[in-house]
């Protein structure tokens, strides 16, 4: 899928992918929600949902810090991009007591915040220049897409495969 280059396309992709993901999440059997995947460090479908919600929070924090003239710790304080496996494992530990319902609620709430931010910005603010504090050439819109639509799409693809593996043979 081609990255969005304007607000309308970004909002459309974000909503389309979120709707597709939540439709799939509505079909996840209770027994599958916390079933570990032995091929993915024991990650559960609940972990996938909570992870996506968390990364939206990270993006929103990076954006706010950049706008405030701060230097965001990207991806997170104490971590570098080449440490994502460690960060994600640490995140699963932090979120281990979160329920399926709490993860879904967090994802929905953070999705709303993401859409509100996108809606509050214009094409120029989203795409004319690199995101302040982002330390890359990516504009805010591209960061927003990575945290939202792209992450929703990858979660849906993984969960479809995982749910097919869990079906009785």
Residue spans per domain, the chain? 60-169
SS (H, E, C) 140-152: HHHHHHHHCHHHH
From CA 74, how far away is CA 135, in angstroms rounded? 9
| Amino acid 169: pLDDT | 62
Q: In this model, does residue 167 exceed pLDDT 90?
A: no
| Amino acid 61: pLDDT | 98
> What number is the average pLDDT over the span 65-94?
96
CATH code assigned to 60-169 = 1.20.120.450
> What number is the average pLDDT over the span 56-63?
98
Q: What is the pLDDT of residues 100-145, one digit of tens each?
A: 999 999 999 999 999 999 999 999 999 999 999 999 999 999 999 9
Kindly provide the residue ranges of all beta strands, DSSP E only, lying in the chain, ordered along the sequence: none
For residue 39, what pLDDT band results from cuts at 50, 70 and 90?
confident
Answer whether 140's CB lies under 8 Å from 87's CB.
Answer: no
């Amino acid at each position: 899928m081609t990255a969005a280059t304007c607000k309308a396309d970004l909002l459309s992709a974000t909503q389309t992918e979120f709707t597709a993901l939540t439709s799939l999440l509505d079909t996840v059997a209770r027994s599958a929600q916390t079933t570990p995947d032995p091929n993915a460090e024991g990650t559960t479908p609940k972990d996938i949902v909570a992870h996506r919600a968390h990364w939206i929070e990270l993006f929103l924090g990076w954006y706010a810090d950049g706008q405030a003239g701060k230097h965001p710790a990207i991806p997170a304080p104490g971590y570098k991009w080449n440490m994502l496996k460690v960060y994600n494992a640490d995140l699963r530990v932090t979120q281990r007591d979160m329920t399926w319902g709490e993860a879904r609620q967090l994802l929905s709430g953070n999705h709303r915040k993401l859409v509100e931010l996108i809606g509050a910005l214009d094409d120029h603010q989203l795409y004319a220049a690199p995101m302040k504090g982002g330390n890359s050439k990516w504009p805010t819109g591209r960061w927003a897409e990575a945290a939202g639509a792209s992450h929703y799409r990858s979660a849906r693809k993984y969960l479809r495969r995982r749910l097919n593996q869990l079906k009785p043979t």
